[in-house]
């Protein structure tokens, strides 16, 4: 299939699919072999080498969705992130990262990089010129994440890539929150795109996986380290991920729509103190999000007024479950301070703007009126309990 003329959903459905030449089945067959007879040209197929039939088919699909040349599929988002970072950094090198990052990524850099002699600087994305000011002669990589987890900060991608290109520095982006439905950073000059496929690419809360997309050359660099670190994904999960991506466009479009409505509703609600959603005009970098995103995503973070206990509010939700992770078809909620960003110290969290009251809502594909009704009844219930314990007066 010539994918250049095809739409996003058509590519999701058909691209990189394995033919079932034996029975003409509609879906990709799954090949679980860890041992393959040598072909004439000696291709050594082995799951850890990222080159089983299913791994290669899925790589093709994800690379095409991100407008890259090639991709590698990993056993987790962190396997993809750590392998990619270490493939481009060595002793004596320096990396600039944005301050608001996924907790695991920030933790990897702060807790492990000193062991490898890699220097790092974190910068505030609201001062984009800092990315240039902090460049040192040994700076090799600039790493961004937009929208970021959990505060949905927006980084101006083209501003960063033009600085990096001027100084011949490799750029990497964690595109997990946007997904290729909403944002294709390679089109904006980013060199390497990373995903926790556990999130939107998987989308059903049943897959742990990661992916990296870039040029053939960069992917080969990551591959060389990747086979030594051994973080590839098993073919069962590869197959599930390929199946899941067929509905990626449909799922995320619905999540975009729902999230925008929920964000608008929260914004108007007087029991809500602060709301973070790049699709709202009140978001400080809405104009940048509008420029670089096709949709604003399914993640909404907010703080309730101080008189509503966030833990109690979470308990009172019925449809929306409190749970780890995000981006499933079902709506979920968590408190970043005690989950996704618990590994950071309270000071580090506050530096990023993550308070103990912050809640991160992952909007699913349910009907938006049901999501809103659940939040409303949980607010009402929590207020009632507070009145009972005389914490607020009616
Ligand atoms: C979850 C997440 C990761 C880590 O992915 P895993 O699949 O859990 O290893 C990285 N970046 C972002 C933005 C995430 O949300």
Which tens digits make up the pLDDT trace of 76-89?
999 999 999 999 99
Ligand 1 atom 5 nearest Cα: 77
Strands, DSSP E only, in 223-289?
Answer: 272-276
- Sign of the CA dihedral running 295, 337, 379, 251: positive
In the chain, where the domains are located: 3-245, 250-388
The number of residues in the chain equals 394
Give residue 372's pLDDT.
98
The alpha carbon of 26 and the centre of ligand 1 are apart by a number of angstroms equal to 31
Ligand 1 pocket check: which of 145, 149, 151, 183 to mutate, most ligand atoms within 8 Å of Cβ? Answer: 149
Q: Which of 113, 116, 230, 256 is nearest to 177 (CA)?
A: 256
Distance 275 CA to ligand 1 centre (A): 22
Does the beta carbon of 143 sit less than 6 angstroms from any atom of ligand 1? no
- CB-CB contact of 150 with 118 (8 Å): no
Gap from CA of 77 to ligand 1 centroid (Å)? 5
User: For 250-388, CATH number?
Assistant: 3.90.1150.10
Q: What is the mean pLDDT of residues 317-344?
A: 91
Burial of 309-340, coded b for 16+ CB within 10 Å and e otherwise, reads: bbeebbebbeebeeeebbbbeebbbbbbbebb
pLDDT digits (tens, 9 = 90+) for 204-240: 999 999 999 999 999 999 999 999 999 999 999 999 9
Answer yes or no: is the C-beta of 148 below 6 A from any ligand 1 atom: no
Tokens of 132: 């240039």
Residue 391 is predicted with a pLDDT of 57
Full-model pTM: 0.95
For the domain spanning 3-245, the CATH number is 3.40.640.10
Q: Whose CA is nearest to atom 1 of ligand 1?
A: 196
339-355 pLDDT, tens digit each: 878 888 888 888 888 89
Which phi-psi region, left, alpha or beta, contains residue 154 (left: φ > 0; alpha: ψ -120 to 50)? Answer: beta
Index of the ligand 1 atom closest to the CA of residue 149: 13
pLDDT value at residue 69: 98
Q: Whose alpha carbon is nearest atom 4 of ligand 1?
A: 77
| Residue with CA at minimum distance from ligand 1 atom 12 | 102
């Amino acid at each position: 299939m010539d994918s250049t003329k095809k739409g996003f959903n058509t590519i999701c459905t058909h691209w990189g699919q394995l033919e079932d030449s034996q029975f003409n089945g509609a879906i990709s067959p799954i090949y679980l072999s860890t041992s393959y007879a040598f072909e004439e040209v000696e291709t050594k197929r082995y799951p850890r080498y990222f080159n089983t039939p299913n791994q290669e088919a899925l790589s093709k699909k994800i690379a095409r969705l991100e407008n890259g040349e090639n991709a590698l599929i990993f056993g987790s988002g962190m396997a993809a992130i750590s392998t990619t970072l270490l493939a481009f950094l060595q002793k004596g090198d320096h990396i600039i990262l944005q301050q608001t990052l996924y907790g695991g990524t920030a933790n990897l850099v702060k807790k492990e990089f000193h062991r490898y002699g890699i220097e790092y600087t974190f910068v505030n994305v609201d001062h984009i010129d800092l990315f240039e000011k902090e460049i040192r002669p040994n700076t090799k990589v600039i790493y961004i994440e937009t929208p970021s987890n959990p505060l949905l900060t927006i980084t101006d991608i083209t501003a960063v890539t033009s600085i990096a290109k001027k100084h011949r520095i490799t750029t990497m982006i964690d595109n997990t929150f946007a997904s290729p439905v909403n944002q294709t950073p390679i089109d904006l000059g980013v060199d390497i795109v990373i995903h926790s496929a556990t999130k939107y690419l998987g989308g059903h809360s049943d897959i742990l996986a990661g992916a990296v997309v870039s040029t053939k050359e960069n992917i080969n660099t990551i591959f060389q380290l990747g086979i030594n670190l051994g973080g590839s994904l098993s073919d069962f999960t590869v197959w599930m991920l390929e199946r899941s991506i067929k509905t990626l466009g449909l799922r995320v479009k619905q999540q975009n729509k729902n999230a925008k409505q929920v964000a608008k509703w929260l914004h108007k609600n007087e029991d809500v103190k602060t709301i973070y959603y790049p699709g709202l005009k009140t978001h400080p970098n809405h104009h940048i999000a509008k420029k670089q995103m096709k949709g604003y995503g399914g993640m909404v973070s907010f703080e309730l007024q101080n008189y509503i206990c966030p833990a109690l509010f979470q308990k009172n939700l019925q449809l929306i479950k409190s749970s780890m992770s995000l981006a499933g078809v079902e709506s979920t909620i968590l408190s970043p301070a005690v989950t996704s960003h618990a590994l950071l110290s309270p000071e580090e969290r506050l530096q990023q703007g993550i308070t103990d009251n912050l809640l991160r809502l992952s909007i699913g594909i349910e009907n938006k009126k049901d999501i809103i009704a659940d939040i409303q009844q949980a607010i009402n219930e929590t207020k009632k309990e507070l009145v009972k314990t005389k914490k607020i007066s009616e």
